[in-house]
Structure 1
Amino acid sequence: MSAYILTLSCPDRRGIVHAVSGFLMERGGNIEEAAQYNDHGTGLFFMRVRFACEGVPEAELRSQLATLADGFGMAWKLHHAQQPMKTVLLVSKEGHCLNDLLFRWKSGLLPVDIRAIISNHRDFYQLAASYNVPFHHIPVTAATKAQAEAKQLEIIEAEGAELVVLARYMQILSNEMCGRLAGRAINIHHSFLPSFKGAKPYYQAHDRGVKLIGATAHYVTADLDEGPIIEQDVARADHTDTVEDLTARGRDTESQVLARAVKWHSEHRVLLSGHRTVIFR
């Protein structure tokens, strides 16, 4: 049997769950997992269904789903449940998130297929080689930014990447690049956004004497560090902590937050709702 994940959103009304479950039952589908959310603030309905189906060709299933969706004004996507998501990682000179994602991937903890690593530094080419992942060194300067991003996009598209992860890639993407990667690029910011945006957030946090530090995984948009938030977490801090203490403690939080965001995205558990997200964990 073929396993699929159906995600959808539409204006809320009676009968949506009945229509979807009935549609699947009529085609011999077996629902293995289902979750829904009615957003009373926006009047929208969100749903994620994992199901197994036998005997219905995928093209026919998609065509019939399109007919169902038209009747409810649905935005929908159908994914193969057991197909790992093709992913490209971007990194600069901080490798803790990169190392963590590679380890989780090879340990079978993330349903991704890491196709390439792109970096503006050479620091992690040996790490990439140890996991047998192609490493692309693309230096970036103010004068070469456009050409560098063109090369990055060429690699991303050549690998068929459905997900791009900025695993501490310390470059601001152009508006054009953000547009090309809309909804499929995740960034980890070493701060509990919206506090301490931009560069050196741990220095900013230390200067303010914070009692909590954190990390935020969010989708990349043209608005710096303001994309829809997927996951956040915090760690305690006190007056005895140095900037180095905060930075070291924050690395663990960053790695865990990013890994959870990547996992949820690659399992098609994250649905966008304007500048917010709906996450079926």
Structure 2
Amino acid sequence: MISRSIRRGTATAIKSVSSGISFRNISSGSLLLRCADSLGIVSTVSDVVTGNGWNVTSADVHVERTKLNPVATGSLDGADTFLCRFSFAREDNVSPKEVELFEKSLCSSVSSLRECRSDLLFDSGRHVSLSCGRSPSIVRHFGKCRVGLLLSKREHCLTHLLDRARWGDLDIDVSYVISNAYRPPSHPIRRYLDDANIPYHYVSTSEDSGEGSWEKEVRDIVARSPTVDVLVLARFMRVLSPSFLKWRPLDSIVNIHHGLLPSFKGANPYRQAYNEGVKLVGATAHFVTEDLDEGPILEQAVDVTTHGDTIRDIRIRSEALECGALERALRFVTENRVAVVGRRTVIFR
């Protein structure tokens, strides 16, 4: 693995522009690029950025040595994988036409790169996907990353994310909450969500509801609700089926597991850790795949435990870790900092 960083003077955006056709306050952004490694990629992209009137403020580069481990990293032709997160800014007003030309220029540039996939994110929230042989695809026109939250009984991750979002410390909009734990309208969580105009949906997952029926209900709620960029399993203690995962875009479901993966997968990781007498406990945020608790890891947090700790002690420590790990994972995703290479993630911090 090779990591290198190229930085130069930071440009401060002084002015912004607002228009009626989905461009709002665009003065800076980032491009997350993944392609087969070759010479001159940084130079090629930088020329396009500067040629369109933007200043490259940073270019963080990583080369994943996929030739050494093609199975684990998902290499298609044995080439190493080049990854880079470019940051850019400009100090003058930018028109919608200029933004469109910039996107098309970048798309044309990256189309010449092998196995290229890239994401362009502006500070207005405009998110554009650029891929080889395709026109720019608008993921989100503007605004914060839209999130749907799923949880069961434990509420610590939900309340933590809601608090961070309320104070502007996490750039997300929570569109709805789905839970398989019943909470009456008088419940504090329900009252908080009502005050914030966030819909709450209860879905029964009891045996009486029938196998698969609860997932169909969840899917119906997601389908008829406003489109979200990310579904977050904030301690949702049910396994989603392969058909549900295929229905969602790739790498658009994030889970927080209350254990330090790859150890202690599945149910009761607190008890598993206690029974094994481990000296470190932790939490793991990861993308959800068909393999239970084996998706690409986004963030982990650890703390020390001792022989004198009870399962309750471990749970209390772990829950604090879960909140922090999930928040940081979502921050990486919303700030265009995550690239997945096979089973691994590259996080540009």
TM over 0.5: yes
Higher alpha-carbon Rg: 2
CA 1:151–1:33 in structure 2 vs 1: closer, same or farther (change >3 Å)? Answer: farther
Query: CA shift at 1:14, angstroms?
Result: 1.1
Pick the aligned partner of 1:81 from 123, 133, 155: 123
- Cα distance between partner residues in 1 of 2:272 and 2:194: 36
- The structure whose residues are more often helix, as a share, is 1
Q: How does 1:33-72 map to 2 (within 5 A)?
A: 33-42=58-67, 43-52=80-89, 54-55=94-95, 56-72=97-113
Mean alpha-carbon deviation: is it higher for 101-110 or for 153-162?
Answer: 153-162
Counterpart in the other structure of 2:128: none
CA 1:22–1:116 in structure 2 vs 1: closer, same or farther (change >3 Å)? Answer: same
1:245 aligns with 2:313: yes
Aligned residues of 1:115 and 1:134 also touching (Cα < 8 A): yes
Mean alpha-carbon deviation: is it higher for 122-131 or for 89-98?
Answer: 122-131
CA 1:36–1:116 in structure 2 vs 1: closer, same or farther (change >3 Å)? Answer: same
Q: How does 1:1-281 map to 2 (within 5 A)?
A: 1=16, 2=26, 3-42=28-67, 43-52=80-89, 54-55=94-95, 56-73=97-114, 74-83=116-125, 84-123=144-183, 124-141=189-206, 144-157=210-223, 158-181=225-248, 182-281=250-349
Aligned residues of 2:45 and 2:106 also touching (Cα < 8 A): no
- Cα distance between partner residues in 1 of 2:57 and 2:323: 30
Query: CA shift at 1:7, angstroms?
Result: 1.3
- Cα distance between partner residues in 2 of 1:130 and 1:144: 33
Identity percentage of aligned residues:
36
| 2:110 aligned partner, one-letter code | A
Mean alpha-carbon deviation: is it higher for 195-204 or for 55-64?
Answer: 55-64
Mean alpha-carbon deviation: is it higher for 161-170 or for 173-182?
Answer: 173-182
- Cα distance between partner residues in 2 of 1:24 and 1:140: 50
- Cα distance between partner residues in 2 of 1:107 and 1:145: 40
Query: CA shift at 1:145, angstroms?
Result: 5.0
Query: CA shift at 1:35, angstroms?
Result: 1.5
CA 1:144–1:128 in structure 2 vs 1: closer, same or farther (change >3 Å)? Answer: farther
| 2:314 aligned partner, one-letter code | L
For residue 71 of structure 1, give the secondary structure of its aligned residue in structure 2: coil
| 1:150 aligned partner, one-letter code | K
Query: CA shift at 1:208, angstroms?
Result: 1.0
TM-score, with structure 1 as normaliser: 0.94
TM-score, with structure 2 as normaliser: 0.76
- Cα distance between partner residues in 2 of 1:173 and 1:263: 24
Mean alpha-carbon deviation: is it higher for 161-170 or for 80-89?
Answer: 80-89
Structure 1, residues 162-209: CA drift from partner, whole Å, max 9, x if none? 011100000000111122233011100010011111111111111111
- Cα distance between partner residues in 2 of 1:145 and 1:65: 47
For residue 155 of structure 1, give the secondary structure of its aligned residue in structure 2: helix
Query: CA shift at 1:130, angstroms?
Result: 4.2
- Cα distance between partner residues in 1 of 2:263 and 2:107: 42
Root mean square deviation, CA, Å = 1.7
Aligned residues of 1:179 and 1:222 also touching (Cα < 8 A): no
Q: Which runs of 5+ in 1 are unaligned?
A: none
CA 1:145–1:68 in structure 2 vs 1: closer, same or farther (change >3 Å)? Answer: farther
Query: CA shift at 1:217, angstroms?
Result: 0.4
Aligned residues of 1:50 and 1:81 also touching (Cα < 8 A): no
| 1:156 aligned partner, one-letter code | V
- Cα distance between partner residues in 2 of 1:122 and 1:32: 49
- Cα distance between partner residues in 2 of 1:15 and 1:183: 29
Query: CA shift at 1:139, angstroms?
Result: 1.4
